[in-house]
């Protein structure tokens, strides 16, 4: 047994099922060890996609996703995917297989300082040395999962990988426990509710890592108050609920902000300012911030309560808070939602992104998973798509890197092979990750990729319009006709809602991957994205 075998054995015990990456000479010892294990090595077209897929696996399962790269350019490619795990709070182990230890201080072909490279975007970075492999890996697994979860980087010199792995490490590393502040939170909450006329609940990324949505919903219903969420908070409270009032900071944001501006007290439950700073929307409204880490305070926000706490205990205490009357009107909420939905679907276009999403929502199973990329459609989906199912929407918000959507969908299909999974990407993002179709074909992943093809980098187009700039550097050109396949994956075009509905039905019945190119009008984004 060598140290590569030791690492693979420990990953098996930790519940790891896949390692994503691209092979090279220094990576081969690890791949050989994986071949003798239950863990699959998933070959991606780029190390960036490997990082995205590891991030999604970590988010969906709660166990660290694992990605691997070679020295130098492989490591720099990997950083983009690892950055997603860093700012979107997913447990990940990022392994960089390096040159032999004797060469680590030399300027040689391909080599850069991997630890310096990964330090700004990971919770910790380690370099394996012989005799310390098990201990460091155990620490890395624990750190990746501690609140808030995130990536840990492990540098693996080739000579250490091949050295005899005789060491043992059986010492358990306990997870960090956060203080139970439920009594002080309950008191602060009760006092604030009695002073408030229109309290509002907002949830976010931290809430997505916990399983107490029923307790929070009890609180909301008992207090008769509305709730909004961030992009990452969608589905953890049911969006079909009569108290749901929208998603902050996304399409038709001004409609949602007019609603939230009525609040005189904000109860932020699992809200992570990494998605949207408080300074961008709360003004002087008092805030109770209930999360596993305090919000950064520049002095402009009125925090009633802002400390790291045991999240589950805090929400359980909230649910027991006696009801306090307020001035909210259920009829006003209903009118707001109706007006909001109308504004998300501007007239004047025969085929736009909102048509695609309505048809997809109708045909996709209620527990189906939608993974989507970064662009103008990100804003439209976050506001328009409705779900009551946790972790059924996959997007990157903290990191917000194009190229996320397709790898995210393929990772989700590996985790949930029996659920419907669909990717929605823009034509710009599709160009960045089209090579991953070869992965989907090789693994026969039944995932339709819907390409919103409008010939523009739509989000940048809208931003240039808002600033009265020239439209420059954002036009991809008139979309060509769809080919019959990309990398052997069949493709169908859709230029009308009816054609898209038929193509989607075709794609959902295939036993492998597919592409639908939806040739949509770009102009409706100008009426929804930042309004």
Q: What is the per-residue pLDDT across 317-339, written as a single tens digit (0 to 9) for each?
A: 999 999 999 999 999 999 999 99
User: So what's the pLDDT on residue 132?
Assistant: 87
Average pLDDT, stretch 411-425? 98
Residues 6+ apart with CB under 8 A from 224: 243, 323, 325, 326, 328, 330
Q: How many residues does this entry show for the chain?
A: 531
pLDDT of residue 170: 66
Could you please report the per-residue DSSP string of 109-129? Answer: TT---HHHHHGGGSSEEEE--
Q: Tell me the C-alpha distance between 27 and 33, whole Å.
A: 10
pLDDT over 90 percentage in the chain:
90
What's the pLDDT score for residue 26?
87
Question: What share of the chain in percent tops pLDDT 70?
Answer: 96
166 pLDDT higher than 90: no
Confidence (pLDDT) at 521: 96
Q: Could you give all domains of the chain from N- to C-terminal order, each with its CATH number?
A: 3-162 (3.40.50.970), 182-337 (3.40.50.1220), 346-528 (3.40.50.970)
Question: Measured in whole angstroms, how far is the alpha carbon of residue 78 from the centre of its chain?
Answer: 17
- pLDDT at residue 110 in the model: 63
Q: How far apart are alpha carbons 66 and 91 in whole angstroms? A: 9
d(CA 97, CA 380): 40
List, in order, residues 6 or more apart from 347 with CB less than 8 Å away. Answer: none
Residues 6+ apart with CB under 8 A from 293: 147, 148, 206, 308
Mean pLDDT of 1-12: 94
Mean pLDDT score, 421-444:
97
Per-residue pLDDT, averaged over 285-303, amounts to 95
Q: Where are the alpha helices (DSSP H) in 14-72?
A: 28-35, 47-61
Q: Can you tell me the distance from the alpha carbon of 415 to that of 202, in angstroms, rounded to the nearest whole number?
A: 29
- Helix and strand numbers (H, E) in the chain are 20, 19
- Residue 111, pLDDT score: 76
Contact 459, 375 (CB under 8 A): yes
Query: What's the confidence (pLDDT) of residue 398?
Result: 94
Enumerate residues 6+ apart whose C-beta is below 8 A from 406.
Answer: 49, 371, 373, 423, 425, 429, 430, 433, 436, 437, 449
pTM (two decimals): 0.96
Residue 74 has pLDDT above 90, yes or no: yes
Q: Are 82 and 122 within 8 A, CB to CB? A: yes
Say how far residue 71 (Cα) sits from the centre of its chain: 27
Helices (H), 269-385: 311-319, 330-343, 353-363, 376-384
CA 257/CA 202 separation, integer angstroms: 12
- What is the pLDDT at residue 236? 97
Q: Which of 102-111, 287-296, 357-366 has the lowest mean pLDDT?
A: 102-111
Q: Which two tokens stand for residue 379?
A: 């804003």
Mean pLDDT (the chain, rounded): 94
Residue 439 has pLDDT above 70, yes or no: yes
Contact 464, 472 (CB under 8 A): yes
Res. 105: pLDDT tops 80: no
What does the pLDDT read at residue 451?
Answer: 98
Give the pLDDT confidence of 22-73 residue by residue, as tens digits. Answer: 999 889 999 999 999 999 999 999 999 999 999 999 999 999 999 999 999 9
Is the bond into 148 cis (omega within 30 degrees of 0)? yes
Mean pLDDT of 173-190: 89
DSSP character for 436?
G
pLDDT at 328: 98
CA distances, 344 to each of 234, 300, 352, 354, 446 (Å) = 17, 32, 11, 7, 30
Residues 349-354, mean pLDDT to the nearest whole number? 97
Question: If you average pLDDT over residues 222-239, what whole number do you get?
Answer: 98
Say what the pLDDT of residue 167 is: 63
């Amino acid at each position: 047994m060598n140290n590569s075998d030791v690492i693979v054995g420990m990953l098996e015990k930790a519940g790891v099922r896949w390692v994503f990456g691209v092979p090279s000479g220094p990576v081969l010892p690890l791949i050989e060890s994986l071949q003798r294990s239950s863990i699959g090595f998933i070959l991606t077209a780029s190390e960036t996609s490997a990082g995205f897929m590891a991030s999604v696996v970590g988010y969906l399962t709660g166990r660290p996703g694992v990605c691997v790269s070679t020295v130098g350019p492989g490591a720099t490619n990997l950083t983009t995917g690892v950055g997603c795990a860093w700012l979107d709070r997913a447990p990940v182990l990022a392994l960089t297989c390096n040159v032999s230890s004797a060469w680590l201080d030399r300027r040689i072909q391909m080599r850069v300082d991997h630890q310096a490279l990964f330090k700004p975007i990971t919770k910790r970075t380690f370099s394996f040395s012989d005799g310390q492999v098990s201990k460091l890996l155990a620490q890395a697994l624990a750190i990746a999962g501690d609140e808030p979860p995130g990536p840990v980087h492990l540098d693996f010199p080739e000579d250490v990988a091949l050295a005899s792995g005789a060491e043992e490490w059986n010492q358990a590393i306990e997870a960090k426990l956060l203080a139970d502040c439920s009594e002080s939170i309950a008191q602060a909450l009760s006092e604030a509710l009695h002073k408030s006329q229109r309290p509002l609940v907002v949830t976010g990324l931290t809430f997505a890592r916990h399983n107490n949505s029923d307790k929070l919903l009890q609180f909301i219903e008992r207090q008769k108050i509305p709730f909004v969420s961030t992009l990452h908070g969608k589905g953890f409270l049911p969006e079909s609920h009569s108290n749901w009032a929208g998603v902050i900071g996304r399409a038709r944001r001004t409609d949602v902000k007019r609603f939230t501006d009525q609040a005189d007290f904000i109860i932020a439950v699992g809200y992570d300012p990494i998605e949207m700073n408080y300074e961008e929307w709360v003004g002087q409204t008092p805030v109770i911030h209930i999360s596993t880490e305090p919000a950064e305070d520049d002095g402009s926000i009125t925090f009633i309560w802002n400390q790291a706490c045991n999240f589950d205990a805090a929400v359980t205490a909230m649910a027991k808070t006696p009801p306090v009357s307020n001035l909210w009107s259920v009829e006003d909420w209903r009118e707001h939602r109706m007006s909001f939905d109308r504004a998300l679907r501007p007239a004047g276009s025969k085929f736009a992104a909102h048509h695609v999403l309505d048809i997809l929502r109708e045909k996709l199973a209620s527990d189906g998973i939608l993974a989507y990329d970064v662009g103008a459609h990100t804003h439209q989906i976050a506001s328009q798509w409705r779900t009551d199912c946790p972790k059924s929407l996959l997007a990157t918000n903290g990191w917000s890197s194009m190229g996320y959507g397709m790898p995210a969908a393929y990772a989700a299909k590996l985790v949930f092979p029996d659920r419907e999974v669909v990717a929605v990407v823009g034509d710009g993002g599709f160009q960045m990750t089209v090579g991953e179709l070869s992965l989907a074909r090789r693994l026969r992943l039944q995932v339709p990729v819907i390409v919103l093809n409008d010939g523009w980098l739509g989000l940048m187009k809208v931003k240039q319009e808002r600033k009265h700039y020239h439209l420059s550097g954002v036009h991809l050109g008139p979309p060509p006709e769809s080919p019959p396949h990309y990398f052997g994956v069949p493709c169908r075009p859709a230029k009308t809602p009816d054609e898209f509905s038929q193509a989607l039905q075709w794609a959902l019945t295939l036993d492998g991957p597919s592409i639908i190119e939806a040739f949509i009008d770009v102009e409706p984004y100008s009426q929804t994205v930042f309004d």
